[in-house]
Amino acid sequence: MHIAVCIKQVPDSAQIRVHPVTNTIMRQGVPTIVNPYDLFALEEALRIKDRTGARITVLTMGPAQAEEALRKCLSLGADEAILITDKVFSGADTLATSYVLAAALKTLDARTPIDLIFTGKQTIDGDTAQVGPGIAIRLGCQLLTYVSKICELEPTARHIVVERRAEGGVQVLKSALPAVVTMLEGSNELRFADMPGMFRAARQEVQRWNRDSIGVELAQVGLKGSPTVVAQVFGPRPKAVKALRIDGETPDAIAEAFVDKLFADHPHLEDAMLEHLELLGQQGVKP
């Protein structure tokens, strides 16, 4: 069994600076991590490896420094790592990203057939949740998003049963391999890398693939292959009316003054609050 895990290196903090002229992210100096949702995907793959001895390949599209994120995955137990990197891939939106990742996965599949593709439900920097579905469509695989649990996996019968978070409940779905599975947060608990794993990761080669390795059309990658374009970046503007500052000598004085002012300005709030508390009381919720 061969599992591919698609990950992304993301900035660690919200303290990201933007270049004032080019409006692009200034990556220098911002600490990076593996997208936390992707780690749930990797852990799920590692658990399958523990049970079945599956082989795990991690892939990412990104700049040269994304190699660091791949090494982290190797230290946790992935067998092979591929960095898909090329100047022409930069500036990609989700459509162009899924095109490159799907092309890389096809190349990998031709070498060692892939049974399952895992990825996180979304990234913490883009928050789009669109690349997983994009990969599935481009590869003609089954798509299983927001998966909280893998109930059954039969590599020989080639089927998979999962629990999927749907609106208002959980769907239990039975599907076929190969499938793209996007994992929900909290679906498992991530292991720590051990010393042998870290040493192995430091020594191991991270393969580098470029546009020629995966045979892509230049018109479909990077900025050129992205139908969506950022037309402007802007900071939020303060509201026209400034916040009313509540003053007082002590915290209690401030609190009293605030509550009086709040209910004086918005008398309906008091009624709404009392009625709501009464309702909660009737439902047996202790106020």
Partner 1 sequence: MSDSLDTAAKPIKKPKRVLPERFKSYKGVWVFIEHEHGHVHPVSWELLGKGRELADKLGVELAGVLLGGMGEAVRELAAEVGAYGADLCYLARHPVLEDYRNQPYTTGLTELVDTYQPEILLLGATTQGRDLAGSVATTLLTGLTADCTGLDIDPSDRSLLSSRPTFGGSLMCTIVNLATRPQMATVRPRVMTMPARRPDRPLRVVEHGLQLDESAVVTKVLDFVPDVRADKPQLPFADFIVAGGRGLAKPENFTLVTRLASTIGAEVGASRPAVHAGWADVERQVGQSGKTVRPKLYIAAGISGAVQHRVGMEGADVIAGINPDPRAPIFDFANYALIGSAAELLPALERAFARRLAEARARRAQAAEETV
Residues 46-65, interacting with partner 1 (CB under 8 A): none
Minimum distance from residue 94 beta carbon to partner 1 (Å): 7
Residue 109 or 258: the one with the smaller Cβ distance to partner 1 is: 258
Minimum distance from residue 28 beta carbon to partner 1 (Å): 14
CA distance 100 to 221: 7
Minimum distance from residue 200 beta carbon to partner 1 (Å): 30
Select the residue interacting with partner 1 from 61, 105, 131, 206 (CB under 8 A): 131
- What mask, x for binding partner 1 by CB under 8 A, covers residues 155 to 174? ------x--xxxxxxxxxxx
Q: Say whether residue 219 binds partner 1 (CB under 8 A).
A: no
- What mask, x for binding partner 1 by CB under 8 A, covers residues 174 to 213? xxx--------xx---------------------------
Select the residue interacting with partner 1 from 20, 29, 245, 249 (CB under 8 A): 245
Phi, psi for 136 (deg, rounded to 5): -60, -45
Which positions from 83 through 122 interact with partner 1, judged by CB under 8 A?
A: 93-95, 98
Nearest to 143 by CA among 104, 113, 98, 177: 177
Residue 66 or 206: the one with the smaller Cβ distance to partner 1 is: 66
Residue 29 or 238: the one with the smaller Cβ distance to partner 1 is: 238
Which residues are paired to 149 by β-bridges? 163
* Amino acid, single-letter form, for residue 125: D
Angle between helices 251-265 and 267-282 (to 10 degrees): 100
Minimum distance from residue 261 beta carbon to partner 1 (Å): 7
Contact 211, 218 (CB under 8 A): yes
CA distance 70 to 8: 9
Which residues are paired to 153 by β-bridges? 160
Interacting residues of 76 by C-beta distance below 8 A, sequence separation 6+: 42, 43, 46, 190, 191, 193, 197
Token pair 């009086």: residue: 260
- Segment near partner 1 (CB under 8 A); pick from 10-18, 76-84, 109-117, 206-214: 10-18
Minimum distance from residue 192 beta carbon to partner 1 (Å): 17
Which positions from 12 through 41 interact with partner 1, judged by CB under 8 A?
A: 13-16, 18, 25
Q: Say whether residue 286 binds partner 1 (CB under 8 A).
A: yes
Minimum distance from residue 248 beta carbon to partner 1 (Å): 9
| SS (HEC) of 156-185 | CCCEEEEEEEECCEEEEEEEECCEEEEECC
